[in-house]
Amino acid sequence: MAINDSTFVIRPLPGAGIDGAFRVHLSPDSLEKLGLQHGVDICQITGEKCTGYGIAWRAMDKMGTNPKLRPVKLTSIAQSAFGFEEGSHVTISKSAASRVLATRITLADDTPQEWKNAEDKDFAWQARANVLLDDCEAFAVGMTFEVMVKKKLRKKFYVENVEGPGHPNGNGLFYCGGATSVVISDGPRPDTPSQPPLGDSFPVLNTSLIGGLVEQVQELNRHMDRVLNRASRSGSTSSFEAEARHTILHGYEGTGKSMLIKAIAQTHRPAKVFRIHESDLTTSAKAISLFDKIFDDALRAQPSIITLDNLHQIVPKENRILNAALIQQFEKIRASRVFVLAAVPSLLSIDHLLLDPDTFGIDIELRIPDIAARTAIIRTMLSHEPEALINAVSFKTHGFTGRDLRRLVYKARLYPAQGSESDSAGYVNIGAGAPQSNGSAANGHRHEVSWESQDATEVDRSSLDVESSTAVLTIEAFAFALNKVAPSALREIFFEKPNVRWSDIGGSGSIKAKFDDTIGTPLQHPDLYSKYAMKPRRGILLYGPPGCSKTMTAQAVATMYDLNFIAVKGAELISMYVGESERAIRELFRKARQAAPCIIFFDEIDSIGAERDAGGTKGLNVLTTLLNEMDGFEAMENVLVLAATNKPEVLDPALLRPGRFDAHIYVGLPDVVARREILRMSLKSVMEDPGVTVDLDELADDTAAYSGAEIVAICHVAKERSLVRAVSGADAVLGRGDFEEAFRNVRKGVTEEMLAGYQGFAARG
């Protein structure tokens, strides 16, 4: 082999991990001479008997300048995969190929005999291998890697075959995505992999590989095609120039924005992709210089794509200089075949000038997946599982993003390793299939959901058994996983997560019955509501004296009917900045619609819903925005608004009109039965102590006209006195004297005038 500028000698790269196993380390001078861009371009390595591929990478150590000894450093993983030997001479050239999204990876167990452990009963090797490959920047057929759980428990796997769009035979470099499946074959590993040359990658995003985002991907493909392929054939340059062209993706964390940008950067060829990342922009001056370079390079390389993931971090909203500099760059590429794609969590997080038609004139929202989208996402991950299991999981994961679902499946795959019958008591009960209308609730610190419903169709558990020839996962595995994974899309807006049941609220039977009529009937009999052309109520007002469990009632409703729950205090929505409160309310309703079925609970709604002539103008716009949202300029499907107040008489009449808070439920002082139940629940930890002579019936009579919170406070004071005696070694038995002292310390807070006011409100209807 003749030695020239493209000839190198292979040297080992020690200490490299699996994540960067296919980086081709070259000196900066060699990268420049070969026209290779660090971290972006794929280079072809050609030896006398084999050919390989890798990602061009700038070496961090001294590589030497002697042409006869010009080194290229490869990891042992890459050398083994492609059959290169240390010291052999190879030529390196730039390849037009790119990494390809793997759809299916077949592994062979290549564990040495001396590693094998008779005690190995771990069934999660497939999931662990999937996690390791997912962290790989690139991998190839022929690669071997180790998976270790403990020092004495490890396996070695060999990548036997990889399938991907445009590369069904597994040739080239690949990467993992959310739709990638990993299987472990039963046969022995083959001797050598096949290595035909790598061709061009799939030209556009493949919708079949991206579950739950088909419409968004199709729209994105149309915009890319219009700019990259048709701009040069446009009959009128002026009309094309006037069209909005560049696109911004927005949506919650985990909905797939970065995944789409990554997929475009790695699969959209022959268009060259330029990436701007916030880590490259240490100063404003450097950022402006990089903007100039990237946009100039993209213009010269058209058709080309520029991606800006996390645009709000690249150009912070408050940095006017950077925003102006980026906006100016769009003038350069007007009417060109350069497509700019950005991603942000919210359009409110960037300067509004970036959303003009001349900049990012097209926005595509990646919503929290609805049930159809969740089914599609789960199906891409569990393509070999029974449809009954896929449907059941999708029904019970309201509010889960694609990333959440992936974590859920991963945790479910670990179930045989981490779960056992002995600790399954706290798992989510998913013994039945999905109800027709119910969603899931994020309860407490666990995502505890009942999958049982009167209308539920039983899943054939035999078809989901882990021993089945077609099933790997079971209902029990997802019961385990749902205790570990909660919907991150709602985490930022939860004031608290309900873990309250009716049994936690003393004397709540009558209120529960009212909610069964108001909420339960529409959920259980939607067909009847459709027949009678009736719509379920949108808003329910809970009113009554303070301390009577209005907030707990709202939480119990969410838990009972298996609904997502968003709770805010009205005062928290009032901002000193003009327009911020209104934006907060609109965002609140938008999130609720995406997380439906969902409850929005406004505690202390009187702070934003007082009569509009009763105060200043600050609350006026807030109330108007709330009314507009409840009137449903956008559909309020499966969104229920609950509100609580101690002062119903101050509410604006507009809030109480039909279609808004037209159902009023009085949560009043507890009656004698409820008071006894509250006392029993508050004192159950001490009532069984020897010598306790407390008469609950007598206390229930004595606490007439006290609120539930005041009764709990009385019990607390009485127990506190008993505790003090226990600490000092005296007789700590709870007695009547403790309660008499408690009555002297806890005063009644509800007056006759207040009760008369509630009666007057009820009389007005």
Collapsed DSSP state (helix, strand, coil) of residue 644:
strand
For residue 114, the surrounding DSSP H or E stretch is none
**Predicted pLDDT at 556:** 87
DSSP secondary structure code for residue 124 in this structure? -
Greatest mean pLDDT among 96-105, 534-543, 571-580, 685-694: 534-543
Q: What is the largest CA-CA distance in the chain?
A: 104
What residues are paired with 74 via a beta bridge? 12
Comparing 125-139, 216-230, 437-451, 496-510, which segment has the lowest mean pLDDT? 437-451
Higher pLDDT, residue 493 or 38: 38
Structure tokens at 693: 């002579």
User: Degrees (nearest 5) of the Cα angle 273, 275, 277?
Assistant: 170
For 162-195, what is each residue's pLDDT tens digit?
A: 887 755 445 678 888 777 888 887 655 554 444 4
In 237-350, where do the E strands start and end? 247-251, 272-275, 304-308, 338-344
- Range list for CATH 2.40.40.20 in the chain: 7-95
Buried b (16+ CB within 10 A) or exposed e, 309-322: bbbbebbeeeeeeb
For 559-617, what is each residue's pLDDT tens digit?
A: 888 787 888 877 767 765 567 778 888 888 887 887 777 889 998 898 887 766 544 44
Phi/psi region, residue 399 (left: phi>0; alpha: psi -120 to 50; beta: rest), is left
CATH 3.40.50.300 fits 502-666, yes or no: yes
The contacts of residue 568 (CB under 8 Å, 6+ apart) are 493, 495, 588, 600, 601, 602, 603
Collapsed DSSP state (helix, strand, coil) of residue 758:
helix
At residue 370, φ and ψ (nearest 5 deg) are: -80, -175
At residue 340, φ and ψ (nearest 5 deg) are: -110, 130
Q: So what's the architecture of 672-745 in CATH? A: Orthogonal Bundle (1.10)
Q: How far is CA 686 from the centre of its chain?
A: 44
At residue 546, φ and ψ (nearest 5 deg) are: -65, 150
CB-count exposure of residue 178 (10 Å: 0-12, 13-18, 19+): buried
User: Degrees (nearest 5) of the Cα angle 121, 124, 125?
Assistant: 95
For residue 60, the surrounding DSSP H or E stretch is none
- Range list for CATH 3.40.50.300 in the chain: 207-366, 502-666
User: Above pLDDT 90, what percent of the chain?
Assistant: 22
Confidence of residue 151 (pLDDT cuts 50, 70, 90): low
Q: How many CB atoms lie within 10 A of CB 334?
A: 13
Q: Is pLDDT at 455 greater than 80 in this prediction?
A: no
What's the rounded mean pLDDT across residues 536-544? Answer: 90
pTM of the model: 0.49
**Predicted pLDDT at 237:** 46
In one letter, which amino acid is 487?
P
Topology of the domain covering 100-184: Vcp-like ATPase; Chain A, domain 2 (3.10.330)
Topology of the domain covering 207-366: Rossmann fold (3.40.50)
Structure tokens at 705: 């006209």
Place of tokens 């990268």: 31
Phi/psi region, residue 401 (left: phi>0; alpha: psi -120 to 50; beta: rest), is beta
Collapsed DSSP state (helix, strand, coil) of residue 511:
helix
What's the rounded mean pLDDT across residues 70-98? Answer: 86
Comparing 349-358, 411-420, 681-690, which segment has the lowest mean pLDDT? 411-420
The full length of the chain comes to 765
- Range list for CATH 1.10.8.60 in the chain: 672-745
**Predicted pLDDT at 38:** 87
Buried b (16+ CB within 10 A) or exposed e, 80-96: bbbbbeeebbbbbeebe
Confidence of residue 231 (pLDDT cuts 50, 70, 90): very low
Buried b (16+ CB within 10 A) or exposed e, 351-389: beebeeebbbbbebebbbbebebbbbbbbbbbeebbebb
DSSP secondary structure code for residue 19 in this structure? G
DSSP secondary structure code for residue 458 in this structure? P
Q: How far is CA 723 from the centre of its chain?
A: 46
For 246-296, what is each residue's pLDDT tens digit?
A: 999 998 888 889 888 888 876 645 678 898 988 777 788 889 999 999 999
Collapsed DSSP state (helix, strand, coil) of residue 57:
strand
CA separation for the pair 519, 517 (Å, rounded): 6
**Predicted pLDDT at 477:** 85
Q: How many CB atoms lie within 10 A of CB 659?
A: 14
CA separation for the pair 271, 303 (Å, rounded): 5
Structure tokens at 232: 């040069």
Query: Judging by DSSP bridges, how do beta strands 598-603 and 639-645 pair with one another?
Result: parallel
At residue 106, φ and ψ (nearest 5 deg) are: -105, 125
Give yes or no for a contact between 31 and 94, defined as CB atoms under 8 angstroms apart.
Answer: no
Structure tokens at 158: 């060999």
CATH assignment of 7-95, given 3.90.550.10, 3.30.1360.200, 3.40.50.20, 2.40.40.20?
2.40.40.20
